[in-house]
Chain A
């Protein structure tokens, strides 16, 4: 997951990626190019590198987030549920703040990040709680 996360960051930061573009024919339901006409339900030739990297990142993040622990019992399920709720709420809180304070083009970037931050927040929160529990257990006994 981490390599694809790094790739994702690179994708965002490097604007000039025409050297790395992977052009291929893809079936597009909606195609709104910056220059040119809109088209629907056609096969277009487009750069699919961003799509590939996003797919890779999302699939690996989903696997990391929702794969079962070694000993999956009721307490860990509860922790998982609680961190999922927490992650969704915090994500929407951040979204609300950015709706109020960020406009125009920067807002589009925020929307882009928002796609990934729910999963990322959940992974961080879940593992943080588990880590704290394990450390507390080691200290107590």
Chain B
């Protein structure tokens, strides 16, 4: 699964720490999602999309083989 989290963060110019505080999770979670180590739950993905004002599909995308 791919995600544009880092790009979106750069557009809005906020750090991982700020994003984590906004959503209410730990910084490790944001880091793990960005690196692709952790697939976020639906709640978390929706909250992330809400922070950036985009839809979930704009931030996360399935790979070809999934």
Contacts and interface: CB of A to CB of B under 8 A. Distances in A.
B15 A141 contact: yes
Please report whether the interface of chain A is mostly helix, strand, loop or mixed according to DSSP: helix
Contact of B31 (A76, A130, A137): A137
Contacts of B27: 137
B31 to A, nearest CB: 5
A74 B16 contact: no
Contacts of B32: 75, 133
Nearest to A140: B31
Contacts of B38: 75, 78
A35 to B, nearest CB: 57
Interface size class of B (residues with CB under 8 A): 10 to 19
B16 A76 contact: no
Contacts of B55: none
A9 to B, nearest CB: 33
A34 interface: no
A130 to B, nearest CB: 8
A75 B15 contact: no
B4 interface: no
B16 A71 contact: no
Interface in A89-125: none
Nearest to A141: B16
B61 interface: no
A73 B31 contact: no
Contacts of A75: 25-26, 28-29, 32-33, 38
B27 to A, nearest CB: 6
Interface in A45-74: 71, 73-74
B44 interface: yes
A30 interface: no
Interface of A: 71, 73-76, 78, 130, 133-134, 136-137, 140-141
Closest 5 CB pairs of A and B: A75-B29, A71-B26, A73-B25, A133-B28, A137-B31
